[in-house]
Amino acid sequence: MQKRRTQVGIVGAGPAGLMLSQLLAREGIDSIVIENRSRAYCEARIRAGLLEQGSIDMLGEAGVGARMHKEGLAHDGIELRFGGQGHRIDIKALTGRNVMIYGQHEIVKDLNAARIAEGGQIVFEAGDVRIHDFSSKAPRITYTHGGEPVEITCDIIAGCDGFHGICRPAIPAEAITLYDHPYPMGWVGVLVDAPPVSHELVYSSTPRGFALFTMRSMTVSRLYLQCGPDEDIAEWSDDRIWEELELRLDGGSDHKLPKGPILQKGVTEMRSFVCEPMQFGNLFLAGDAAHIVPPTGAKGMNLAFADVRRLSRAAADFLKRGRREGLDLYSQRCLKRVWRAQHFSWWMTTLMHSFDTYNAFERRAQQSEREYVASSAAGAKTLAENYAGMPWAWDED
C-alpha cells in the first residue's frame, strides 16, 4: 500500500473542496483532494450559477476571479412576475451589493487550473474512498487509484463530497441531528442554445406552476419549470417544455421567449436539509455534505464558499499557531448563516410556487405576500438583502 501524508485531506473536488484547497494553499497549508469522478466529468456538470457579492469577492481574493470578472454577468436586480405583471426588485439600490451569473462548472475549471498550476494535489477517479479514525488526532483516508491501494494520514479531514457522499454517513447516527424537509414539487431544468428572456432573472408564479428564466451567458439560457417531485424527464418532450415556458411567462408583452435547441434537460428534487453539528472529531463537513437548500434562493454554492472560508481560517489557526477554538466552534458559527439561508430559500419557494394542498384561504394569503413584497420598500429590501447574501462581516467572529 502506498502511504502519503498531508495536513488536510479533502474528500470531493467540487467547488467546496477545490476552494478549500486553494484557500489553504494561500495560508501555506498542504492538502490533498480526493475525487471519485474524472476531471472532465466534474468540469462538465451544469449546476448553480448565481454568486453573491461575498462569493464574488472571495473568488478574486483566492486568485481565481479573472475569468469570472471578464465573462460573468453582473446583475443589479431580479424580476418577480405574477398576475401577468412584472415587479423589479432593485438589489443594488436596496443593498449596495449585486449578484453575478457565472456557472459552477466554470468555477470548477478555474479552480482546477489554479490548483494544478500551483502544484496542488488532486486525485481524480479514486475508487473505494473511505475515511478512518477521524475522532483521533491522526485521521486517515484510504482509496484505490490505478489499481493500487493508497492511505493518506492527515491532521484534519474535510468532507466536501456532497449530499450523497461518504463522509456524513460515517459519523455515528447518535452524534448528529438531521433536519430534512422535502418539498411536494421538483424542477424540470433545461439548458438551451438561445439568448435569455431578460438581462436579469425572472421568477414567474402562475396557476400552472412556477417558472424561472435565467441564463449561463448571453447566448445560453437556463430555464426551469415546476413539476411533480417524482416526474420522469422522458414525459417532458421539447414541445411540452416550450409550451409550458410560454404559458408560465404569463403572457407578458414586455418579454419574449427566444427558442433554440435544448442541450440538456433533467429533473431536480427540492428539499431543505441540515446536518447539525457539521463536525465530529477531526472531520468537518462543508457545502452539500452538510446542508441542502431548494434552488429558488440561489444559496447552495454560496453557502459552500462561506463554509470553506471559515474552515480554511480555522484550520490555519490550528495548524500554524496551535489554536483550536476556530475548529471547535466551526459548526456553531457556520450554522448561523446556514439557517438564515435555509429560511430565505424556504420562504422564496413558498412565495412563488403553486401548492396543490393549499386551500382558497392559503392561496389568497400567498398572493397578498407577493403583493406586499412587490409594493413595500421594507418587503423588497428584506428579499434583496437575503438574495444578495448577508455581508461577510455579519458572521465574523
pLDDT of residue 362: 97
pLDDT digits (tens, 9 = 90+) for 18-58: 999 999 999 999 999 999 999 999 998 877 789 999 999 99
**CATH numbers and ranges of domains, the chain:** 2-75+100-179+271-353 (3.50.50.60)
Amino acid at 301: M
Q: What is the pLDDT of residue 49?
A: 85
pLDDT of residue 47: 76
- Name residues whose C-beta falls within 8 Å of residue 40's C-beta, 6 or more positions apart in sequence: none
With cut-offs at 50, 70 and 90, classify the pLDDT of residue 394.
confident
What confidence score (pLDDT) does residue 251 get? 60
Mean pLDDT of 289-308: 96
Q: Which amino acid appears at position 42 of this protein?
A: C
pLDDT band at 252 (very low <50, low <70, confident <90, very high): low
Segment among 6-20, 150-164, 249-263 with least mean pLDDT = 249-263
Q: What is the pLDDT of residue 213?
A: 96
List pLDDT tens digits, range 100-138.
999 999 999 999 999 999 999 999 999 999 999 999 999
Please state which of the ranges 57-71, 225-239, 254-268, 351-365 shows the lowest mean pLDDT: 254-268
Grid cell at residue 174:
447518535
- Catalytic residue set: 75, 203, 295, 299, 387
The 3-class secondary structure across the chain, one letter per residue, is CEEEECCEEEECCCHHHHHHHHHHHHCCCCEEEECCCCHHHHHHCCCCCEECHHHHHHHHHCCCCHHHHHHCEEECEEEEEECCEEEEEEHHHHHCCCEEECCHHHHHHHHHHHHHHCCCEEECCCEEEEEECCCCCCCEEEEEECCEEEEEECCEEEECCCCCCCHHHHCCHHHCEEEEEEEEEEEEEEEECCCCCCCCCEEEEECCEEEEEEECCCCCEEEEEEECCCCCHHHCCHHHHHHHHHHHCCCCCCCCCCCCCEEEEEEEEEEEEEEECCEECCEEECHHHCEECCHHHCCHHHHHHHHHHHHHHHHHHHHHHCCCHHHHCHHHHHHHHHHHHHHHHHHHHHHHCCCCCCCHHHHHHHHHHHHHHHHCHHHHHHHHHHHHCCCHHHHCC
What is the rounded average pLDDT of the residues 78-107? 95
Residue 287 has pLDDT above 80, yes or no: yes
Whole-angstrom distance, CA of residue 165 vs CA of residue 154: 19
What mean pLDDT is predicted for residues 280-294? 98
Predicted local confidence at residue 120, as pLDDT: 96
The predicted model gives 356-366 an average pLDDT of 96
What pLDDT does 397 receive?
Answer: 65
Provide the percentage of residues in the chain whose pLDDT is more than 70: 99
Q: Residue 253: is its pLDDT beyond 70?
A: no
Q: What pLDDT score does 45 carry?
A: 82
N-term to C-term CA, the chain: 42
Residue range 57-77: mean pLDDT, rounded:
96
CA distance 141 to 215: 39
Under the banding of pLDDT at 50, 70 and 90, the label for residue 214 is very high
Q: Which amino acid is at 358?
A: Y
All cell numbers assigned to 339: 439557517
